[in-house]
């Protein structure tokens, strides 16, 4: 069995994070998205064909030609024209049955094993708001039809982007025309395939973790950290530091006196944490990071090589790599009126659905001391703020 993993997209919805790196390399629980899926494919496939495009060299450099016994083959999608078009580069690399999966969602081992149990299948999840999703209409648990974001209820089985197909799907892909969105949709090819071949719908066990927006990273990070069952301290914890709950600390990391860490928390290698800081639950801190005196971090993803200066506060936020946060930088993560935080995505003001959401900061940003950042505001890579600057709109 082989797996085809779609990892070519640019992902403008996750800007500014994906201006610097492909989406499949964004870290959750201190592992790239793609790594989570490769780990969960272990034992089920012997080769994964990675469909790459945007910044493909970064993916190839990170993963090479083999991952824990899974051979990695790269096929390029030169033009990103939709999921259907993305599968075509795999033609010639697969024969017979194979798995297709989105590279920027996370599927657990049981999801993968459940779909493989059928000759041909796809993963669905029951949702309360099917109008936001592509949905499958079924009969006796088999595919009968597909609709993209239906205005009227026809099914509550949302498409999860995990399929078991065979090489006949390439013929169906080549017959299709562009959708109303101007893309080639793999679900339309599967719908045609299902007219002559039974395709089973497998209902997810609530472990399909979709990463559509920056705040989705926080939600999935919280889910994965919440499953930690123990602590693993490989670094040094000074005598007057406190660790409570499940906490992982990497090699050569020092937790300094007065630091209070409230798990679940993951901290990478070669970090300096504290003194006198407060790291709260559901926080992931990458490797080679520095967290200064009297810093508080809550429910955040902090990427590699980032420094957060003294007297700063970050809540419900994502901070990229090689960022330098000046002392006294404060992120507001809740509105005064207690309404959901909204943020701009591709020029449209979008409701995050969250009461608490702070900032998204791209790679190589520097903030001046005492910078203040409004809820939902983003800072693009390479940007700088002045001392005491108030970031009340996206800084591009």
**Under 8 Å between Cβ of 391 and 377:** yes
What distance in Å separates the CA atoms of residue 217 and residue 214, rounded to the nearest whole number? 6
Q: Decide: helix, strand or coil at residue 244.
A: strand
Tokens of 168: 């006949």
Output the pLDDT for position 80. 64
Contacts of 117 (CB under 8 A, 6+ apart): none
What distance in Å separates the CA atoms of residue 16 and residue 31, rounded to the nearest whole number? 19
Q: Identify which of 154, 162, 150, 165 has the alpha carbon closest to the alpha carbon of residue 198.
A: 165
In this predicted model, which residue has the larger pLDDT, 184 or 233?
A: 233
**Under 8 Å between Cβ of 4 and 98:** yes
224-391 in CATH: which number? 2.160.10.10
Beta strands (DSSP E) in 316-363 are 318-319, 324-325, 330-331, 342-345, 348-351, 360-361
**Structural domain spans, the chain:** 2-212, 224-391
Tokens of 17: 């994070």
SS3 content of the chain, % helix, strand, coil (to 5): 20, 35, 50
Q: Decide: helix, strand or coil at residue 225.
A: helix
Q: What are phi and psi of 391, to 5 degrees?
A: -95, 95
For 66, other C-beta atoms within 10 Å of its C-beta total 10
Output the pLDDT for position 182. 54
Output the pLDDT for position 184. 62
Mean of the pLDDT values across residues 69-89?
A: 82
Query: Which position among 85, 93, 310, 336 bears the catalytic label?
Result: 310
Output the pLDDT for position 134. 87
- Per-residue pLDDT tens digits for 200-241: 999 987 678 989 999 999 999 999 999 999 999 999 999 999
Q: Is 36 a catalytic residue?
A: no
- Per-residue pLDDT tens digits for 30-39: 999 999 999 9
Output the pLDDT for position 175. 84
Domain 2-212, CATH 3.90.550.10 — does that match?
A: yes
Output the pLDDT for position 244. 97
Report the sign of the C-alpha dihedral through residues 106, 107, 109, 112, in that order.
Answer: negative
What distance in Å separates the CA atoms of residue 196 and residue 173, rounded to the nearest whole number? 15
Give the 3-state secondary structure of 291-303. Answer: ECCCCEEECCEEC
- Per-residue pLDDT tens digits for 96-123: 999 999 998 999 999 999 999 999 999 9
Percent of the chain clearing pLDDT 70 (strictly above)? 96
What distance in Å separates the CA atoms of residue 319 and residue 193, rounded to the nearest whole number? 43
Q: Which range, of 7-11, 127-131, 268-272, 372-376, averages the lowest pLDDT? A: 127-131
Instruction: Please classify residue 129 by burial: count the beta carbons closer than 10 Å to its beta carbon, then call 0-12 exposed, 13-18 middle and 19+ buried.
Output: exposed
For 330, other C-beta atoms within 10 Å of its C-beta total 16
For 110, other C-beta atoms within 10 Å of its C-beta total 12
Q: Identify which of 36, 23, 171 has the alpha carbon closest to the alpha carbon of residue 111.
A: 36
Contacts of 352 (CB under 8 A, 6+ apart): 213, 215, 340, 341, 342, 343, 376
Q: Identify which of 14, 5, 9 has the alpha carbon closest to the alpha carbon of residue 40.
A: 5
**Under 8 Å between Cβ of 129 and 151:** no
Output the pLDDT for position 179. 55
Tell me whether strands 121-126 and 242-244 are parallel, antiparallel or unpaired: unpaired
């Amino acid at each position: 069995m082989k797996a085809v993993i779609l990892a070519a997209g640019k992902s403008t919805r996750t800007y500014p994070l994906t201006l610097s790196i492909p989406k499949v390399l964004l870290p959750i629980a201190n592992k790239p998205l793609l790594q989570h899926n490769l780990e969960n494919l272990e034992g089920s496939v012997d080769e994964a064909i990675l469909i790459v495009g945007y910044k493909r060299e970064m993916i190839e450099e990170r993963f090479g030609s083999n991952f824990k016994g899974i051979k990695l083959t790269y096929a390029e999608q030169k033009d990103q024209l939709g999921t259907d078009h993305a599968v075509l580069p795999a033609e010639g690399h697969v024969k017979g049955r194979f798995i297709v999966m989105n590279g920027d969602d996370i599927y657990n081992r049981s999801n993968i094993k459940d779909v493989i149990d059928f000759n041909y299948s796809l993963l669905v999840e029951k949702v309360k708001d099917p109008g936001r999703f592509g949905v499958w209409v079924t009969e006796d648990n088999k595919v009968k039809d597909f609709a993209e974001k239906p205005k009227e209820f026809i099914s509550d089985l949302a498409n999860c982007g995990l399929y078991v197909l065979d090489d006949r799907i390439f013929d169906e892909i080549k017959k299709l025309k562009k959708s109303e969105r101007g893309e080639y949709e793999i679900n339309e090819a599967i719908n045609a395939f299902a007219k002559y071949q039974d395709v089973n719908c497998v209902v997810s066990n609530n472990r399909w973790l979709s990463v559509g927006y920056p705040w989705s990273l926080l939600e999935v990070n919280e889910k994965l950290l919440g499953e930690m069952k123990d602590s693993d301290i490989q670094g040094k914890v000074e005598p007057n530091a406190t660790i409570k709950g499940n906490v992982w600390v990497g090699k050569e990391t020092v937790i300094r006196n007065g630091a209070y860490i409230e798990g679940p928390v993951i901290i990478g290698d070669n970090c300096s944490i504290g003194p006198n800081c407060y790291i709260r639950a559901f926080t992931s801190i990458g490797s080679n990071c520095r967290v200064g005196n009297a810093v508080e971090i809550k429910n955040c993803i902090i990427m590699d090589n980032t420094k957060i200066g003294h007297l700063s506060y970050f809540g419900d936020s994502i901070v990229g790599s090689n960022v330098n946060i000046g002392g006294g930088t404060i992120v507001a993560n809740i509105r005064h009126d207690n309404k959901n935080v909204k943020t701009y995505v591709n020029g449209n003001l979008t409701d995050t659905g969250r009461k608490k959401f702070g900032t998204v900061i791209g790679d190589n940003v520097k903030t001046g001391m005492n910078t203040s950042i409004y809820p939902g505001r983003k800072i693009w890579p390479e940007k700088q703020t002045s001392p005491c600057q108030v970031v009340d709109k996206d800084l591009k």
